A and B are shown apart, each in its own frame.
Chain A
Amino acid sequence: AQKVTQAQTEISVVEKEDVTLDCVYETRDTTYYLFWYKQPPSGELVFLIRRNSFDEQNEISGRYSWNFQKSTSSFNFTITASQVVDSAVYFCALQYQAGTALIFGKGTTLSVSS
């Protein structure tokens, strides 16, 4: 069965701290896709990144970086020098076959205080 686990329910940091959000997934498929979405207090779901199972290169986008490790079935998300605007719920998701629905984790609520 396909499953996504975000063990951290809530994280609180102070501005400028680095923070890592964990994501562990389960799937028996050899081809799959992993995603991160951000849900700010306004409620919309914002796409951040998509990774396919054949691409284990880490990715950096500004203050955001993602570490994909198939050996541990993890796709962790790090925010460097966090800012108050990063406060949101972050969801990790798995798509076990292109064109199918995403299976979401329960989300991690990140609170960044000034």
Chain B
Amino acid sequence: DAGVIQSPRHEVTEMGQEVTLRCKPISGHNSLFWYRQTMMRGLELLIYFNNNVPIDDSGMPEDRFSAKMPNASFSTLKIQPSEPRDSAVYFCASSGAYNSPLHFGNGTRLTVT
């Protein structure tokens, strides 16, 4: 099992640019989660999907953030336009059976200058 795969591992961009983060969940998992980690706020849930449908997006900071899950094997998190305060590590996680633990990807470290 390859685990949750995120790309890119690192992203450096300038303020105002569009950023797209990608995630491939573990095959067969039907729940997918996007978290953001910062020193100040710790690990925050941004959004999660069950069976490709967004269930809770209350953690999405503002309209600049959007997430999609077009199929069971792929999800994107887009920030447009990016701002320096978006700098963080973004984690994707997936889970399988109804009460199974979340398995996290290695994260994408985003730096917005």
Contact = CB atoms under 8 A, between A and B. Distances in A.
- Interface size on B, as a range, is 20 to 34
A47 B31 CA distance: 16
7 contacts: A37-B104, A43-B107, A47-B102, A99-B31, A99-B98, A103-B45, A104-B43
B78 interface: no
- Top 3 A-B pairs ranked by shortest CB distance? A98-B99, A45-B104, A104-B43
A104 B42 contact: yes
Given A100-B55, A107-B43, 18 more contacts: A33-B99, A37-B104, A43-B107, A43-B109, A44-B104, A44-B105, A44-B106, A44-B107, A47-B104, A50-B99, A98-B98, A99-B50, A100-B48, A102-B33, A102-B45, A104-B43, A105-B42, A106-B42
Nearest to A99: B98
Which of A33, A91, A100, A106 has the most CB atoms of chain B within a 10 A radius of its CB?
A100
Contacts of B48: 100-101
Interface string B70-93: 000000000000000000010101
Contacts of A105: 42
A52 interface: yes
Interface of B is mostly: strand
B56 interface: yes
A35 interface: yes
A10 to B, nearest CB: 13
B101 interface: yes
A91 B101 CA distance: 14
A37 B93 CA distance: 13
A50 B26 CA distance: 19
A103 B56 CA distance: 13
Contacts of B98: 98-99
Nearest to B44: A104
A45 B91 contact: yes
Given A101-B33, A101-B56, A35 B104 contact: no
